[in-house]
Amino acid sequence: MIVAGYMGTQLKYQLHKANTSPFFCQKNLYTTRSLWLDAYQAFSPVKKYCWLHYLSLEYDPWTRSTKSPPGVQILVPPMGDTQSIEYISPFPFQVRPTEYYINIINSLERLGYSRGYNIFGAPYDWRKSPHEQGDFFESLRYLVQEIYEKNGGKRVILFGHSMGGNFAYLFLRKQNVYWKNHYIRAVVFAASPWGGNFKHMYDYLYEDDFAADLIPEFRQVERTYSSLAFLLPNKRIWGPDDIFLTTPTADYTAFNMEEYFAHLNHPNGYQMYLDTKDLMDPFVHPEVDIYCIPAVGYKTLRQVEMFSDNDKTNRFTNYSQGDGFVNIESALGCLNWFPSKKYKFYLKLLDSSHLGMLRETEPVNFFANLIYSLP
């Protein structure tokens, strides 16, 4: 069972009197159209502004949740589908830059696995934090049970890349130990951030890293996502001396996020941070065998020194060890569950990047052989 990560599921949409969109955008669309990642709309000089509007979320402080703009309906692929997580773009944009799980799935099929029989995907609306994903977790539970029965009582392996590992962890936390012992063989956490990343704190400030380096306007939309707040640096891993942003007047850490969002003048961002910061606490063992596989060897955003409070471009950026996205300190948060008397714990650091570990031959074969080796 493969759980997608941040930006890792294709999304579709329909429109029903979407009157809040820019005036030149379509207001009604009763057929289903690709939204993420539709390269035709994303890179169109005019259509991209409609596309960005459809991708955005609005925060409701009363319900502590997000919703699409009025008239915009987002459609998530059905639970179990793998096509929507093999590439982040649908045909005809299935090229290497949009590859996601396709290589691991193909490698598993060469070992005798089959889509729809013992390879399944867990797509979801990755814009939303886990606390907004009740239907997803319920559907995943039913599908795990169905897969178990379909395969003659063989227990299920959960595989989560990046934020998908966090979702897999929280899913396991929601199940009782008897259910997990019965249905789950193990969980594989691939490059999962257990205490958030500085990259996502950086994303509230700048538009020059992935994916905003391709579509700068996307970053404004991304800042409306509760999942982005969920991925911020967290006190679970980082200490008060771990400074992420320093300015002439203040230092910002995981311990003063309220001041950070005040600096950004982004009150909704802070509210979403409050909604999400404790979701993985208490950070207890998931009560299954764990295979924790971070990636290392790539410079990863770690700190920004701003030399002016009013000019964020006047800065120096520091890097440290990680996979290009996830800081190694956060990826190694899984060590919190080692040792365990009841459950196996396996740790391996791959010499690869955050996305390279799902695309390059050596790490892909490693993951496929690891899954194949589990009885």
> What was the pLDDT predicted at 244?
98
Q: What is the pLDDT of residues 185-232, one digit of tens each?
A: 999 999 999 999 999 999 999 988 777 788 889 999 999 999 999 999
Pairing of strands 65-67, 58-60: antiparallel
Q: Where are the alpha helices (DSSP H) in 58-101?
A: 83-86
Contact 123, 77 (CB under 8 A): yes
Task: Supply the angle between the helices 102-110 and 361-373 in degrees, to the nearest 10.
Answer: 50
- What pTM value is reported for the model? 0.96
Angstrom distance (rounded) from CA 111 to CA 151: 16
319 φ, ψ (degrees, to nearest 5): -125, 160
| pLDDT tens digits, 279-289 | 999 999 999 99
How confident is the model at residue 96, as a pLDDT?
81
What is residue 292's DSSP assignment?
A: E
Q: Which two tokens stand for residue 233?
A: 């640096």
Contact 282, 336 (CB under 8 A): no
Those residues of the chain that have pLDDT short of 70 are none
Chain position carrying tokens 């598993």: 108
CA 271 from chain centre, in angstroms, equals 20
d(CA 350, CA 295): 5
Q: How far apart are the first and last CA of the chain?
A: 15
3-state helix, strand, coil in the chain (%, to 5): 35, 20, 45
The confidence score (pLDDT) of residue 268 equals 98
Q: What is the distance between the alpha carbons of residues 344 and 267, in angstroms, rounded to a whole number?
A: 43
Domains and CATH numbers, the chain: 2-373 (3.40.50.1820)
125 burial (CB, 10 Å; 0-12 / 13-18 / 19+) is buried
> Is the Cβ–Cβ distance between 40 and 47 less than 8 Å?
yes
Of 276, 328, 277, nearest to 301 by C-alpha is 328
Which residues neighbour 214 within 8 Å (Cβ) at sequence distance 6 or greater?
none
59, two tokens: 């925060």
CB distance 179 to 137 below 8 Å:
no
Spatial separation of the C-alpha atoms in residues 334 and 289, rounded to whole Å: 12
- In whole angstroms, how far apart are CA 83 and each of 120, 142, 286, 327, 346? 10, 20, 28, 29, 29
Give the side-chain half-sphere CA count within 13 A for 325. Answer: 21
| Amino acid identity at 216 | P
Backbone angles phi, psi at 312, to 5 degrees: -75, -10
Alpha-carbon gap, residue 139 to 167, rounded angstroms: 13
11-15/29-36 β-pairing: antiparallel
Mark 337-350 as b/e (b = at least 16 C-beta within 10 Å).
beeeeebeeeeeeb
Write down the pLDDT at residue 207: 86
Handedness of CA 5, 11, 16, 22 (dihedral sign): positive
